[in-house]
Structure 1
Amino acid sequence: MTKESAVLAKVLGGAGRIVGGTLRSAVTDVATTAAHLAELTTDRIARRDPDDAVLRVAVVILSNADGPLCQPDDVTPALDRAQQIFRSQAGIRVRPVSIRVVSGPAPEHALRPRANQKLLLDDLLGRTEWYRRFEPGESGVGSPVTVVVVEEIAGRTTGCSLGMTADWVVCQASLFDKNNPHTYDESVLAHELGHALNLPHHKDNKNLMFPSSSPPGQVRGTELQGWQKLVLGGNRHVIPGLRSRTEGKRPPAAAAGDPAKTAASE
């Protein structure tokens, strides 16, 4: 096989993988969103409150020649922040299923990926295989999103996701360095998880999906709009919350300033 034929075969193979995966993801997301809408309607009619949904996240920390790019404890605050944002805004708990440190040095293209359309091109050419090899190997509803911690992302980007075409995102290690206030940003991991769950950018800087965030003084907000919450709740990666078998009217709200009723209603 000639070099040109090998490249063509790689491109065709990558295109087939991406298109096939994207179509499967789109079909699953449409089905889960429809089911989510039906559940929300039923919940409103029955006046019941479902438990929180769950988003499972696997973290992979790469290493360079000097060792791991960061430690698991460095990433934990950003995971906790993502949990706080998603749970308060959309009723979704972020559950880390693993935080793995890859001991051997990763190749240069994995440590320093390109971003956006160029990262999609690299995925097409098979250059992102290093990320895919560490995915948990699950598929379908409830499969985890993998967060890969890399050394540096090309340009001024500190995180990148390919949306529904990939089940992984990349985040730059400097985001988790508390000793550097000019790079430390807990919002980026949650932002990239939002992209992985099909959320596009938003023009409001108070919104979690605002494109840019510049610590320490201009960190993006954490708000989510109603349609964004609907998209998140209907994504294939999100495990729906359990519905209580007990239905009917909710208990009356406690009167303001009534400690006994307030305590009973919590």
Structure 2
Amino acid sequence: MPTPHSLGATVFGAGRYLVRTAGSMAADVASAAVRTGEVVGGLVSGTAATPGTVRLTVLILSDEHGVPLLHPAQLEPALARADAVLTDGAGVRVRHVGTHVITEPAPTTALNPRANKLLLLDEALGRTDFYHRQLKYVEDTGSVTDVVGRPITAIVVRDIAGRTTGCSLGISADWVVVQAGLFDTERPHEYDETVLVHELGHALNLPHHPSSDNLMYYSSSPPEHVRGTGLNAVQRAVINANRHVVPGVRR
């Protein structure tokens, strides 16, 4: 039987989820309106803008014994790929603002999260509090006062349930989870530089796409069948309208 404490945590978690989702939706609408005005103004004045920027912070969890799941240097190829893909496909740079190794041993539920709708349920029910506690104390993850340009945080976990190696809650969260094996070159059947930028795409409001040549294709199976990294014009517009993107300067 649920205790008053557990019921209170559930109610708080659900309320937090609803408030954050509503705030994110409002910020995205406002950001899109501003970007539309900037585009129109640019067309009238004949000026072009420098690339926008999305800031990315990475948190590497430590296992139950305090051993980090990854060395920060192992992230570098995927970070470089993310920057190249979004720069080429959307005119948006990825600025890596920091990687932080969380030395506090993480609980098994945080190390091995559930995926997709179940992770969304866990977020709504307040079961992702370990992540939120780390996000609260790491300065590079931004704050609730950031309306535009708040960093997206990638949390490196040990194992995600099912056949999933990365997961994003889309508009309802400023963080994503990615599996540590994605960055380990000694695990060729897991190593995949596209998953991090794919999850950033979800955090920037992109849904899945049916083409395997597209970054947002739902599946990627290394080493032989890794998804492509293409983006189309609609996806480019959605990314540039997102609240996480700091617009470029018009010249």
TM over 0.5: yes
Q: 1:173 aligns with which of 177, 180, 183?
A: 180
1:238 equivalent to 2:245? Answer yes
Gaps of 5+ in 2: 136-140
Deviations 1:112-162 (CA, angstroms, capped at 9, x unpaired): 000011101111222211112232242321110110000000000000000
Alignment of 1:206-225 (within 5 A): 206-225=213-232
1:201 equivalent to 2:200? Answer no
Please report how far the alpha carbon of residue 41 of structure 1 lies from its aligned counterpart in structure 2 after TM superposition. Answer: 2.1
1:160 equivalent to 2:171? Answer no
Larger mean Cα displacement after TM superposition, 149-158 or 226-235: 226-235
Q: How many residues align?
A: 243
Q: Specify the SS of the correspondent of 1:33.
A: helix
Distance 1:103 1:25 in 2: 30
Normalized against structure 2, the TM-score is what? 0.93
Q: Specify the SS of the correspondent of 2:134.
A: coil
Larger mean Cα displacement after TM superposition, 109-118 or 64-73: 64-73
Please report how far the alpha carbon of residue 15 of structure 1 lies from its aligned counterpart in structure 2 after TM superposition. Answer: 1.4
Alignment of 1:65-144 (within 5 A): 65=65, 67-135=67-135, 136-138=141-143, 139-144=146-151
Q: Specify the SS of the correspondent of 1:45.
A: helix
Distance 1:144 1:52 in 2: 16
Distance 1:6 1:103 in 2: 28
Q: Flag as ranges the 4+ runs of structure 1 deviating above 6 A.
A: none
Distance 1:8 1:131 in 2: 20
Hey, what does 2:138 align to over in structure 1?
Answer: none
Instruction: Flag the 1:137–1:49 CA change in 2: closer, same or farther, 3 A.
Output: closer
Please report how far the alpha carbon of residue 76 of structure 1 lies from its aligned counterpart in structure 2 after TM superposition. Answer: 1.3
Query: Do the aligned partners of 1:131 and 1:168 also contact (CA within 8 Å) in 2?
Result: no
Gaps of 5+ in 1: 245-266
Distance 1:133 1:239 in 2: 26
Give 1:216's aligned amino acid: P
Distance 1:181 1:99 in 2: 24
Please report how far the alpha carbon of residue 67 of structure 1 lies from its aligned counterpart in structure 2 after TM superposition. Answer: 1.1
Distance 2:150 2:7 in 1: 31
Please report how far the alpha carbon of residue 187 of structure 1 lies from its aligned counterpart in structure 2 after TM superposition. Answer: 0.2
Distance 1:233 1:66 in 2: 39
Distance 1:125 1:183 in 2: 30
Indicate the structure (1 or 2) with the bigger Cα radius of gyration.
1
Hey, what does 1:149 align to over in structure 2?
Answer: 156
Please report how far the alpha carbon of residue 4 of structure 1 lies from its aligned counterpart in structure 2 after TM superposition. Answer: 3.6
Instruction: Flag the 1:180–1:18 CA change in 2: closer, same or farther, 3 A.
Output: same
Query: Do the aligned partners of 2:156 and 2:177 also contact (CA within 8 Å) in 1?
Result: yes
Distance 1:233 1:134 in 2: 28
Distance 2:163 2:33 in 1: 37
Query: Do the aligned partners of 2:14 and 2:126 also contact (CA within 8 Å) in 1?
Result: no
Query: Do the aligned partners of 1:132 and 1:168 also contact (CA within 8 Å) in 2?
Result: no
| RMSD, matched Cα | 1.3
Deviations 1:181-205 (CA, angstroms, capped at 9, x unpaired): 1111000000000101111111111
Q: Specify the SS of the correspondent of 2:44.
A: helix
Deviations 1:47-101 (CA, angstroms, capped at 9, x unpaired): 2220110000110001112611111110111111000000011111100111001
